[in-house]
Structure 1
């Protein structure tokens, strides 16, 4: 088979390499062309050198091109994959720093909450540019696979306003299933069958079966509480399981910032999180991790390039959805996964226009969702609260309506639990001014926002958060890896 795959944001080097090797695990895809595009020529050069090394080491005819001209990369592509981070770590730092001044302590800040909403405002205009290029120069009927966060908002904008065939992809469901299989003592993750449904990062395991035996709430709680690691790392997640009756896909840190109950008071935050790794609730944890990962990759690049000389091992193909979707569409080998699409009746008790994440099957006829799923009422309630925020956020990003943006932030569950309306109004002004370079739709609102900030009487504080860690140096990272190697 010969067709073209464009990867936008290919400068996300590690993730692009994973997608590339996964796709080349499919024997029929040896002749595929990969067109890489990114704003950074530096990152493009690094990832192209790595992928070229993989192609050479495996004796493949695969073609790899790289260009900063996005439209050229998309031209003629049958599949377009996005893994962009608009504004990079510079803007992301403000997503964490500015809300902290108003008492809002986020672990990740890339889905909803103050940081996720502003992240969406930066992404959506760019997503619509991608869609325009796909409509105009991609292969007829091209499919857009979005990996970029905020997943629901980006996919919502692409579907409702971009008018292209779009699916949002995330690995949260797979990771949650792996945890459940482990605590239940499964020999393989394939022994666990499950139905997981909801919205991205708030998906719920509403049916669990181990080797055909249905797993109930009490058994699952007991299994997690008996686990020596997860009982400490997932305290908040286990508490939600006890109260809601079902397990959430999302990590302890992620889940904590989508709900109004666990991060509202600094003294409560430390009770529910675990500092063994960033993902369990650390303040600004993903920002720290992303910064360290970037610095490490830049410094250790020769080692990454050398590792690319190894043969591709199909047994190590990851559970990221992209390669499996492409394989199903092109070869008709059926794939079952969990996909982000417009609801349209798939989940009976969520709004029709929402972007939901739920089970579906893929074959040559496309992605076919399993319809008629009803969530437990508490799960639906938390999802609906986030959906309302997502809807307002998308419409604000499209219209450039700063008042609607403020209302979206005001209705966010964690923001509403922590901040007053006056604080929210000033915080949004401050974030829009700080990120103006990436928010063209709000250019008309920036002068007035600056004027309001100059006269503001709302008090703020310089606060690192309840559980902040400093970014580690390369030397510290090397020492830590060496220590782990010795003990492991």
Structure 2
């Protein structure tokens, strides 16, 4: 088969390489064209060098092009994959830093919460530009696969305003299933069957079966509490499991910032998180991890390039959805996964306009969602709180209405548990002013926001957070990796 796949934000080097090798593990796809595009020529040069090395080493007919001209990359593309981070690490650092001044301690801050909402404001205008290009220059009926966060907001905007067939993709469900299989003692993941449903990063394992036997709450709680690692790393998720009766897909750190109960008081945060890795709740953990990863890649690029010479191994194909969706659409080999789409009745007790994450099957006819799922009431309640924030955030991003943006942040569960309305109003003003170059829709609102900040009486503080670690140097990272090698 010969068709074109465009990857926007291809400078996300490690993730682009994973998508590329996954797709090439499908035998029929070795003659496709990959068109890489990014705003960074430097990043494009690095990823193209790696992908070219893979193609050459495996003697494949695959074509790889790279350009900063997005429309050129999208011309004739049958599939468009987005993994962009608008504003890069510079803007992301402000998503973490400014809310901390007002007492909002985030681990990731890229889905909802103050940071995730502002991230969406930066992303959505760009997503709509992508959609315009797809409508105008991509192949007729081109499909847009969005991997970029905030997943629900980006997908919502692309479907409702971008008028492009869009599927949102994430790997939280797969990671949660791997944990459950491990604690239950499964010999392989194939022994576990599950239905997982909700919204992105708040998806719930509503039905679990191990070798056909239904797994209940009590058995699952006991299995997690007995696990020597997860019992320490996932304390918050286990507490939610006990209270809600079902396990959440999302990591301990992520889940902690979507709920109003666990991060609202600094002295409580340490009780629920684990500092063995960023994903378990560390303040600004993903920002630190992303910064270190970027520095490591820049320094160790020759090693990454050398590793690209290894033969492709289909047995190492990852569980990222993209390659499996393309395979199902193009070959008819059916794939079951969990996808982010507009609800429209798939989940009976969530709003019809929401972007939900739920099971579906893919074949030549497209993505066919399993309809008629009803969430436990507590799960639906937490999802609806986030959906209301997402809806207001999307509409604010489209309209440039700073008052609606402030209302969205005010209704965020964690922000609302920490901040007063006056603090929220000032925090949003500060974030919009600081990030103005990435927020063109708020250009008319920035002067008034600056004036309000100049005469504000709301007090802030210089606070690093309740559980912060410093970004490690290359030497420190290298020493840690050597230690791990010796332990293994």
Give TM class, smaller chain: over 0.9
Aligned to 2:229: 229
- The structural deviation recorded for 1:294 is 0.1
Aligned to 1:169: 169
| Unmatched segments (≥5 aa) in structure 2 | none
- The structural deviation recorded for 1:487 is 1.1
1:209-358 correspondence runs (5 A): 209-358=209-358
Deviations 1:218-274 (A, max 9, x none): 000000000000000000000000000000000000000000000000000000000
Q: Match of 1:59, SS? A: coil
1:373 lines up with 2:373 in the alignment: yes
Partners in 2 of 1:477 and 1:340 — Cα distance? 35
Partners in 2 of 1:465 and 1:325 — Cα distance? 40
Partners in 1 of 2:167 and 2:485 — Cα distance? 40
- The structural deviation recorded for 1:194 is 0.1
Partners in 2 of 1:486 and 1:263 — Cα distance? 36
- The structural deviation recorded for 1:83 is 0.1
1:142 lines up with 2:142 in the alignment: yes
Aligned to 1:191: 191
| Unmatched segments (≥5 aa) in structure 1 | none
Partners in 1 of 2:214 and 2:15 — Cα distance? 35
TM-score by length of 2: 1.00
How many residue pairs are counted as aligned between the two chains? 488
- The structural deviation recorded for 1:164 is 0.3
Aligned to 1:204: 204
Q: Match of 1:398, SS? A: helix
1:123 lines up with 2:117 in the alignment: no
Aligned to 1:386: 386
Partners in 1 of 2:186 and 2:20 — Cα distance? 30
Partners in 2 of 1:387 and 1:236 — Cα distance? 22
Q: Match of 2:467, SS? A: coil
Aligned to 1:474: 474
Partners in 2 of 1:45 and 1:208 — Cα distance? 45
Partners in 2 of 1:221 and 1:487 — Cα distance? 30
RMSD (CA atoms): 0.2
Q: Match of 1:353, SS? A: coil
Aligned to 1:23: 23
Deviations 1:333-366 (A, max 9, x none): 0000000000000000000000000000000000
TM-score by length of 1: 1.00
1:428 lines up with 2:428 in the alignment: yes
Aligned to 2:7: 7
Q: Match of 2:315, SS? A: helix
Partners in 2 of 1:26 and 1:222 — Cα distance? 40
Q: Match of 1:461, SS? A: coil
Deviations 1:86-114 (A, max 9, x none): 00000000000000000000000000000
1:108 lines up with 2:108 in the alignment: yes
